[in-house]
Amino acid sequence: MTTTTTGRATGSDAGRIEITGLTKTFGQFVAVDDLTFGVEPGRITGFLGPNGAGKTTTLRMLLGLVRPTGGRATIGGLSYAELPRPLESVGAALEATNFHPGRSGRDHLRVLAAAGGIPDSRVDELLELTGIPAAARKRAGGYSMGMRQRLGLAAALVGDPQVLVLDEPANGLDPEGIRWLRGFLRHLAAEGKTILVSSHLLQEVAQTVDDVVIIANGRLVQAGPMEELEGTPGARVETSDPAALAGALRVADVTSTVQDDGSLLADTADLRLVGDVALRAGLPVYGLRPQRADLETLYFSLTEGTNRNLGAAATSVGAAPTEGDAVSGREGADL
């Protein structure tokens, strides 16, 4: 990594998030346990885990809102407190109610912009980008949940930051709003921005993110690109005689397995090949579609039986409270 005389990272590391050995304890409770992962510029990373897994605590440590017990969380090689102009380095939306209810949406953004020396023209630009210009002069306290999410996103983007950290940004959005958010985040990633998104909407995450980080009980259980986590692609085919088709595919050097529902799972992503083999074998095909491990299946296979909120597992120092339960210290209000 290269840094300037002001301490600002430059080059490809400027927007990289690096979590290294990050740990946070509240008394005897380990909220985050030796967590290590990275988030790359130009990519959208989904941050997943059961309630109480430590996601919010991790994000708060990254943003300097909670002091780590151990380890380090950096943005472009610097902790949040070390960033010379944090508003222009990282934008965050952790809560959809972080505004004065009696202030208009536009005035809320103007206050944030003024604090960073940013002109009002940026505020008007963001109101258009996030689709809330009509509501901009109304009191934010009267906004719907979806409108609050859009206002929070606009606030995170005031400084045109390189890094964007979002906690449950799709909450309260209707299907059209979720589709808009997906496209908007993809646009920002295409501009080279680093985007870290915490979410419980697994199907939406699967359609949006490039990389996934999954934690449970404060520990990393899986991380990597979506295409790698989804496993080897295959083809699922429905036919009148799956055993006969399996034999025909074997001749074509394609292995396959008959499933419990009577369908055949072939170890190839070439649907045309499977269809051609079935045609030559004189076997009707009722259904033929690509098959990959979906994110929901992967998520539950990795976290099932490890959610401390369900009492299935405990940390080495004792039973854990659920997310939002009171623990010693003000920082533990939301894990």
Kindly report, residue by residue over 220-272, the tens digit of the pLDDT: 998 989 877 766 778 999 999 999 999 999 999 999 999 888 999 999 989 99
* SS3 at position 39: strand
Residue 134 is predicted with a pLDDT of 82
Structure tokens that stand for 224 in this block? 């990597």
* Closest C-alpha among 267, 292, 145 to residue 206: 292
11 C-beta neighbours (distance < 10 Å), count: 11
Regarding whether 261 and 141 lie in a shared domain, the answer is: no
Residue 305 is predicted with a pLDDT of 65
Regarding whether 320 and 221 lie in a shared domain, the answer is: yes
Residue 323 is predicted with a pLDDT of 42
Q: How many domains does the chain have?
A: 2
Phi-psi region of 326 (alpha: psi -120 to 50; beta: other; left: phi over 0): beta
Regarding whether 317 and 206 lie in a shared domain, the answer is: yes
What is d(CA 288, CA 280) in angstroms, rounded to the nearest whole number?
16
User: Which residue, of 257, 272, 291, is where some domain finishes?
Assistant: 291
- Cα–Cα separations (whole angstroms), residue 208 to 45, 54, 66, 186: 9, 22, 28, 7
Regarding whether 262 and 306 lie in a shared domain, the answer is: no
Residue 304 is predicted with a pLDDT of 73
Residue 69 is predicted with a pLDDT of 96
Regarding whether 264 and 215 lie in a shared domain, the answer is: no
Residue 307 is predicted with a pLDDT of 61
Residue 94 is predicted with a pLDDT of 86
| Angle of helix 271-280 versus helix 242-251 axis, rounded to 10 | 110
Ranges of the chain whose pLDDT falls below 50: 1-11, 312-334
Q: Which residue has the tokens 């897994």?
A: 53
Give the domain range for residue 183: 2-228+296-333
Regarding whether 260 and 134 lie in a shared domain, the answer is: no
Regarding whether 260 and 179 lie in a shared domain, the answer is: no
Residue 75 is predicted with a pLDDT of 96
Under 8 Å between Cβ of 313 and 219: no
Residue 195 is predicted with a pLDDT of 97
Residue 335 is predicted with a pLDDT of 58
User: Which residue, of 260, 275, 291, is where some domain finishes?
Assistant: 291
Find the radius of gyration of the CA atoms of the chain.
24
Regarding whether 128 and 53 lie in a shared domain, the answer is: yes
Under 8 Å between Cβ of 189 and 209: no
Regarding whether 236 and 222 lie in a shared domain, the answer is: no
Q: Where are the alpha helices (DSSP H) in the chain?
A: 55-62, 86-89, 105-115, 120-129, 145-156, 175-190, 202-208, 226-229, 242-251, 271-280, 295-303
pTM of the model: 0.75
Residue 1 is predicted with a pLDDT of 42
Phi, psi of 137 (to 5 degrees): -95, 0
Regarding whether 139 and 273 lie in a shared domain, the answer is: no
Residue 321 is predicted with a pLDDT of 43
Query: Which class for 321: exposed (0-12), middle (13-18), buried (19 or more C-beta within 10 A)?
Result: middle
Regarding whether 319 and 200 lie in a shared domain, the answer is: yes
Q: For residue 145, what is the domain's CATH number? A: 3.40.50.300
Regarding whether 179 and 47 lie in a shared domain, the answer is: yes
Q: Which residue has the tokens 């405990």?
A: 314
Q: For residue 283, what is the domain's CATH number? A: 3.30.70.100
